[in-house]
A and B are shown apart, each in its own frame.
Chain A
Amino acid sequence: MTKLKVLMIGPGEPNALNSGLGVAAHHIAKYLANETELTIIQPDEKIGQEHSKTDFSLKVKNLNANKLNETNLISDLTKINVRAKISPYFYPYIELADDDNSVPELSDSDVKTALAEFTQLVVNESKAIDFDVIYAHDWTALPAGMEIKEKTNKPLITHIHSLDYDRNSKLNHSWVYELEKKSFQLSDAIISVSQYTNDVIAHNYGEIDESKIHTVYNGNEPIAHRKTKKVFKEKLVLFVGRLTGQKGPNIFMEIAEKLLQKHKNTRFVLAGNGHLMTNLINAAASKKLGSRFHFTGHIDQDQLLDLYAMCDVYCMPSVSEPFGLTAIEAANAGLPMVLSRQSGASEVLSGALYADHWDVDGFVSHILTVFKNDKKRKKMIEQNKTDLKTLTWENTADQVLKVFNTFR
């Protein structure tokens, strides 16, 4: 059987700015490169970190997409209301290192213009490429995907790692939401990273034929187990994520406040950066939590692995989390965890404890269980490790391929 020719639009490698999306797309591309004839068109992102060389051979077209580069549009963008209430603006998905605050704030129309330019470049590039299916990752790849589909009549498969619905307030629908909605209607197949995201698409994006939505979970890579010296005598509860409403850092602080009343010897570590940082610091100080609530700011992967080794519980109170790769990582590192039910990770980690994101008491009582019930704690860790064995990137890519093959 000849190999299927796939045109992938989206990042082929992770960098400091595209986070989970980049990681997932990279791993999937790596396996697809063996099974298909894969061409990737991606924006040439220079901000953040040096280009990591892809460790597999395939055709990669790096597009010098001017504004898109400067502003890292390909990264997952979130719309928030500016404090000055002038107009909504955009900011990049992942926390930037403290010394890199140079990313310009963008107006809605800047983003639209940059996206239109990027789309045009992708569409032009695609003309010289021979392909059977179009494979687009998340919203910045969608306009190009739709336009190429329209021109070539080739099947469009969209892979959704994160939705405007997750990142944005659910109360108002932005143009990004409208873009996603239109693409869902046009797509021949939609791959989503969890049943949770599946449901969000099916129930919040108008009339979508549910039979074309496929859940394909992300994979994971084992991480070397680390040992660190215990520095604190108290138990450490860990939060990892962007400091934005979606990830629930403020819920984490409420959990901390209540948990400290019941279990004094606890410290909380909030790892990540984001626009809520200064508000959260002020809140921690006002609640007199400051000495028990540690903000790490931006951290690198190495420090993150240290944190997994240092901490006793991983807590993910996300308001809406399509998947939650850090939960998988933490499980891999052997951390017991309490996760939001509104997350994809909760579908695959049967050893975790769950609470709805609004149920602060539920989180508190689960964390106490982990602290006090050693037998249960160990069982949770083992159960998660068993689950992780089936959760490989190879399996993920296989399932993506199965979806592709329905269009042969």
Chain B
Amino acid sequence: MDICLVFNFHVEKPINPFSFFDVGKKQPYFDLSLVEKEFVENGSKKHLSLLDAILKISSKKDHKFSIFFSGLFLELMVKYYPEYIREIKKLVSLGKIELLGGTYNNSLSCLFSIEIFKIEVEKHLKLIKILFGCKPTCFSNTENIYSNELGKMIKALHFKSAIAPAIDWYLERNDRHQIYQSNGEKKLPLLLTDYQTNQLLINSNASSILKDNSLSDKLYVVQINPTSVNPNTNWIDLLSGIKTRKNKLVSTSEALKDHKPSATYNIPNVLAVNASGQDLSYFVENPMQKETIEKLKFIKGQLHIKSDKKLLEDLMDLSSADHLIRMNTKVHSNEITGPYDQYLSMMNILADLEIRISKNKRP
């Protein structure tokens, strides 16, 4: 069996509390200094211990890993831990680490504007090129959002494969541990990831899977997001434990060489199941989330993308899935007003952005 480990490194850039009285007063939408402080004081520990383990294991052994770094994560790493960037670049050039493409801001733009989605993806590609001198070939979308249309779009952006969520009701008895291909004229190989397998492997229950399948020709695509794993995890032990004598840790492109697409994955409607098993309803189901997406779409329509560069940047930052999950009343049910405050702040910020756009239009 082959195991393809895919790590997601991302940092959230939360919106500021933004009252009605802040609208039109040039108040900042984000507090980047706070994000940086949090990253240096707390966030980096979670990330760096995993990165240390990846770097150590992949430089010593023939284990390969795939990583998605979001734009802001890389910006902060360049600023505070540039030595890691140099180290990763070395391993990328040796083929030990494969970098994945995706949206710059963990964005949900694919749900409301393909144009912005493309800009986000290209912006991310550009940063990877600058920092690591390479071009990702496999695409990992925000929260594993996927549909036939998106498959075409990803293909059109010259990616050679993509990660898609294993959908239980769709697959039924079909094996999820193999490569599928997208539905459409131009086929895109799809690596299906299944959050239940993720959970089993991360929670050190790997042995049963590894034992039962060690002789099979199956492919396990396992996504790991360091922020949603127990912070006391010993990554060296965990990653070493996943590798046995009979299995291989492969990168996404190696997986594509060894496993050929067997069937078509036909997903007409947009779906998602992220690494923690949360589906699209976590982000866009309640009225506040729906209204926010609608409003983002409306504002995109007002924007002149080529000339309103700063406004476009703000819109992209506001499109992050992180902002919408904070409006989820089920996830944040302990906070009585949290999701509602988040929504009100977001609406005020979008009203402010709308005013800035209309001012820009004036001659």
Spell out A's residues near B (CB within 8 Å). Answer: 98, 101, 229, 231-233, 267, 269, 277-278, 281-282, 284-286, 288, 290-291, 294-297, 303, 306
Contact = CB atoms under 8 A, between A and B. Distances in A.
B337 A294 contact: no
A286 B354 CA distance: 21
B20 A288 contact: no
A233 B348 CA distance: 15
B343 A291 contact: no
B290 interface: yes
B24 A231 contact: yes
A101, A231, A277, A297: which has the most chain B beta carbons within 10 Å?
A: A231
A57 B130 CA distance: 75
A296 B347 contact: no
B291 A232 contact: no
B344 interface: yes
Contacts of B21: 296, 303, 306
A288 B294 contact: yes
Contacts of B360: none
| Listed residue (A229, A277, A285, A297) with the most chain B CB atoms within 10 angstroms of its CB | A285
B295 interface: yes
Nearest to A285: B287
B221 interface: no
A296 B294 contact: no
B238 interface: no
Question: Which 3 pairs show the lowest CB-CB distances between chains A and B?
Answer: A231-B24, A285-B287, A286-B287
B344 A291 contact: no
Given A278-B340, A286-B287, A291 B347 contact: yes
A284 B287 CA distance: 9
Given A278-B336, A281-B288, A291-B350, 13 more contacts: A231-B23, A269-B20, A277-B337, A277-B340, A278-B340, A282-B287, A282-B288, A285-B343, A290-B288, A290-B292, A291-B347, A294-B23, A306-B21
Interface residue range, chain B = 20 to 34
B80 interface: no
Contacts of A286: 287
Contacts of A231: 23-25, 355
Contacts of B234: none
Contacts of A232: 23-24, 351, 355
Contacts of A233: 355, 358
Given A233-B358, A291-B298, A294-B20, A278 B288 contact: no
Most chain-A Cβ atoms within 10 A of its Cβ — which of B21, B23, B355? Answer: B21
19 contacts: A101-B336, A231-B24, A231-B25, A232-B24, A233-B355, A278-B337, A281-B340, A281-B343, A281-B344, A284-B291, A285-B290, A290-B288, A291-B291, A291-B298, A291-B354, A294-B347, A294-B348, A297-B19, A303-B21
A278 B355 CA distance: 26
Q: Find the residue from A290, A294, A295 having the highest chain B CB count within 10 A.
A: A290
B334 to A, nearest CB: 14
B339 to A, nearest CB: 9
Contacts of A296: 19-21
A278 B343 CA distance: 11
A297 to B, nearest CB: 7
Contacts of A303: 21
Contact of A290 (B19, B23, B291, B354): B291
Contacts of B19: 296-297
Interface string B85-128: 00000000000000000000000000000000000000000000
